[in-house]
Amino acid sequence: MATTQSTHHKPSFDSFGFEEEGVMYWWASWYGKVLGYRSLKTFLAPINKAIQACSTLEIAVNENFQDTRRREKGRKLRDFKLTRFACYLIAMNADARKPVVARAQVYFADQVEKINLLLDGAADLERVMIREEIREGNQSLNAAAARAGVRDFRYFTTEGYLGLYNQPIRDVKRHKGVDEADNLFEYMGRTELAANLFRITMTEERLKRSNLQSPFQAAAIHKRIGADVRKMVQENTGKSPEDLPIARHLQQVADDLRKAKQRLNEKKDQAD
């Protein structure tokens, strides 16, 4: 018996977008529903996280996320015109517990692989974002430490590292194979970055609450909280912080994300 090949094909991602001046866009209202969000209001959380990532990478937000109004059934509704790169960032920042989001992350990981870039999806984006939070957090922590009477910030910082790593940071670098002149934060994986951010934020909160005027007590608090975070890392990963693996330098990750923006926004959808 002769068989007839089906002429029905699954529509491509591009078939749901529209082109303006050579650039493909997708409406956020459509994309949010596809990813399992009931309304644009609930979808704003991953959109805003993606916008923050874009800003951190020093990529023009307005080129990729165009906040606009469009008319639907006689009403003006808020919406966003999203580039392919914006859709990628949103997928990586959306709730991966939603099955459709997980599939979207796999789809975009495949698209990134096809343009010859080595990116670890949501994990790489989280590393970039947490690193930026650490920069900002250290400024806030130092301000709180200054109010507590700290003037020797190197000593104060070293005590926090001693609590977390049980050794000076130069020894941690040597143990991990990182050059002494390099910034260890740039090589930390997501878990280690998150541990350091927790150390920073909890120390700041404790200093604010305690109203100390003693630099030595402030440093002791920093060390104690570092030690508490160390125990949490050991209990939850089975490893000490100094034994957590290093990752690709964050500058390489950021450079590849900028390349992804350029190439994703230029390309057409590629089927498997």
Poorest-confidence range of 108-112, 199-203, 232-236?
108-112
Does a structural domain hold residue 30?
yes
Could you list the beta-strand ranges (E) of 55-160. 65-72, 75-82
Residues 81 and 22 in one domain: yes
Residues 139 and 107 in one domain: no
| Domain containing residue 165 | 121-247
Residue 101: how many CA atoms within 13 Å on its side-chain side?
18
Residues 219 and 103 in one domain: no
Does a structural domain hold residue 49?
yes
Does a structural domain hold residue 159?
yes
pLDDT tier, 268 (very low <50, low <70, confident <90, very high otherwise): low
Tens digits of residue pLDDT in 149-191: 999 999 999 999 999 999 999 999 999 999 999 999 999 999 9
Q: Tokens representing 49? A: 């996280």
Residues 146 and 106 in one domain: no
Residues 58 and 171 in one domain: no
Any idea what DSSP says for residue 188?
B
Residues 21 and 93 in one domain: yes
Residues 125 and 113 in one domain: no
pLDDT tier, 272 (very low <50, low <70, confident <90, very high otherwise): very low
pLDDT tier, 38 (very low <50, low <70, confident <90, very high otherwise): very high
Residues 114 and 174 in one domain: no
Per the prediction, the chain carries an average pLDDT of: 91
Q: What is the pTM of this model?
A: 0.85
Q: In the chain, how many domains are there?
A: 2
The answer on pLDDT for 7 being more than 50 is no
Residues 99 and 166 in one domain: no
Residues 188 and 78 in one domain: no
The answer on pLDDT for 199 being more than 60 is yes
The answer on pLDDT for 9 being more than 70 is no
Tens digits of residue pLDDT in 100-127: 999 999 999 888 888 877 787 788 899 9
The alpha carbon dihedral of 52, 57, 58, 61 has a sign of negative
Residue closest to 229 by CA, chosen among 262, 193, 264 = 193
| Distance in angstroms (rounded) separating the CA atoms of residues 157 and 272 | 50
Does a structural domain hold residue 188?
yes
pLDDT at position 1 is 40
